[in-house]
Structures are given as structure tokens and as C-alpha cells.
Amino acid sequence: MKSSVLNLLLCANAVTSFLNSPSTIRHEPRIAFKSDSSNLKKGCSGFRTKLWYNEEAGSLSIPPDWRQFRANLVAQERWKEDQTKAMAKSSFKRFFLPPADEGHPAAEETSQLPEHWAHPLHHVEHGSVLIANEKLGGVFSRAVVLMLSVGNGKSTGVVINRPLDGTLKDAAKGSNVAKPIQSTFASSTVSYGGPVKEEDLAILHSNPFAEGSREIVPGVFVGGSEGLRKLVCHQEFHPTKALFARGRAEWIPGQLDREIDRGVWRVASASPSLILRHASAKSSTDVAAHGTESGLWNDVLQCMGGKYSNISDNFRE
């Protein structure tokens, strides 16, 4: 079974490589199916699923969002591991403990991923997120970083869970954001994006129709502020659905890989709903950046399951 799932994953990656240019997908995604199995928490508990099956064609099909397809493969493997453990526990009770009054009906697989999902990756890739080690201090303490570019040159990303006090109206002072953009998106949330070029602000959003924007992963786009401004003027987009990031994080070639190898960062693939969590936050006190039960750092680790969920529990403030 595991070999067949792995073959399906390789097929998905091959299709992805064909459909996407090398400049967009720098690394073939690799995952460990046996990494962690657990009862997921905080909105991730429905993370069990079947593969997509095309009844008309009578075969498995790969959906347009390859990340979601991969997440389903990981979820299916987790579900099967959980069922194996449950059956072993049930057998132990049947042979060594008094019979229970009620049986143990088998859990059913579901065909839908939950809204919020995340799973670990072995290597950083375009659109993946970095989760700071729980012992990391400084500006990246409990940070979640969305990777905007990964390749042979420098890698760049923005912190997405450190909303600043106030909105763009307050944070745009001293920045290079054009006045019309400041006016239109005055109510938008701004996150501390990183220590590099803090005068620059990047805009993250979910609208695929904004002219000039670039898709990071399906459902998450960067840039296109002028195109978004026009959509706002036509009441086709609300400014509070955009998340600005002031500054960014950068790594020279090889630096990020070394930091990951040392355990400074954990790498994951995450759902658009988690990536854009703070797009609807009104201030740093509306949805806290970290250290509370609603913190994105905690929630991503919870969705990753296993030892990552335990880390979240142990370091929840």
C-alpha cells in the first residue's frame, strides 16, 4: 500500500513539474509518510480522506491543486496508521480485558480535507512555511515564515504571524507605499515581515484576478496592489482581506538549508486558510501573533500532528 501511495505521489510530482515552469517550482516536494501519526486537534481532526476517484473514467485523478492532492495522500497514510493502532489496541482489550458492553465501530474515511491543514516537509519549497524552533529567540521567536522564492540564489520569505499595532494607515508612514494604495487599504492588517528592507511592504491576498499579482501557491498571491485597488473600487475585493508584510527575511545560498539541518526551522506545507489567517486581523490584539491558544505558530504545529502537536502543547503560553 505504501509503495502504491508513493507511486501516486511521484505521478503527482511529475505532472506538477510538467505544468509548472522551473522558475516557479524549484524543488520536487518530498515527504515522509511515516513521520508522525496522531489525533489532530484544533480544527484538524477531520484530516482523513480518500484519494480522488473519477467515477466516469473509472480511475484515480489528480486535482488542479497538487498541494491539496499531496495533503490528501499524507492524510490517507495517517488515517491508515491510526486504524492499525486502533485495531491493535482493540485486539489487546479483546484478549486480555473483560468484554465491553459496546463494540468499537470502525472509523469511516471522509472525502474532504478540513479547512485548516498542514503536514511536514523534508525540504523547503516555493510556498512552504517555516516554523521557528520553540527555543529560537529574537525577531523570529515563534515566527511562521511564508517562502516567496526558493532557488539557487538567495531565498526570501515574509513573517505572516506578527501583526503590528494599528493598520496600514499607521504602518505605511516612512514606507514606499503609494498614497492611493495607502488610502484604499488603510484598514488592512500589516505584519512584521522581517528585518530586511523594512521600508518595503508586500501585499498577500487570495484574489486570482488582481492584475500584476503572482501566485505563490493555489489560493495565495503576492503583489498586484494596484490591480487589487481597482477591484476594491469596483467592490470586488475588500481591503481587510489583504495582509501587508513590512520587511522580509533573506538567506544567502546554502544558509537556509544549514539552518534547517540544525533544527532552527521546521518546514511544512500549509493550507491557504492558515497562510492568510491574519489577513482578517484588525490589530496585534485582535489575533495574537504567538503565545496564545489562537496563535498561528501553535495551530500549524497542531495540524502537523505527532511530535509537532506535542511541541505546541508544551510551549503554549
Cβ density class 44-53: b for 16+ within 10 Å, e for less: beebbbebee
The identity of residue 244, as a single letter, is F
Q: What is the three-class DSSP state of 309?
A: helix
The β-bridge partners of 250 are 156
Tell me 152's DSSP state: S
Average pLDDT over residues 185-193: 95
pLDDT digits (tens, 9 = 90+) for 250-274: 999 999 999 999 999 999 999 999 9
What is the rounded CA–CA span in Å between residue 189 and residue 249?
19
For the chain, domains (ranges, CATH) are 2-96 (no CATH), 118-314 (3.40.1740.10)
Confidence (pLDDT) at 150: 93
pLDDT greater than 60 at residue 29: no
**Banded model confidence at residue 77, pLDDT cuts 50, 70, 90:** confident
Q: Do 158 and 194 touch, CB atoms closer than 8 A?
A: yes
pLDDT value of residue 151 = 83
* Per-residue pLDDT at 12 exceeds 50: no
**What radius of gyration do the chain's Cα atoms show?**
21
What DSSP string describes 1-47? -HHHHHHHHHHHHHHHHHHS-TTT--S-----TTS------TT-TT-
pLDDT higher than 90, residue 297: yes
**Does the structure show a pLDDT above 60 at 99?**
no
**Residue 116 predicted with pLDDT over 50:** yes
Residue 176: predicted pLDDT: 85
Query: Residue 60 — very low, low, confident or very high, per pLDDT cuts 50/70/90?
Result: low
Residue 98 in this model has a pLDDT that exceeds 90:
no
Mean pLDDT (the chain, rounded): 76
pTM of the complete model beyond 0.95: no
Strand (E) or helix (H) holding 203:
strand 196-205
Task: Give the residue, 85 or 302, on which the prediction is more confident.
Answer: 302
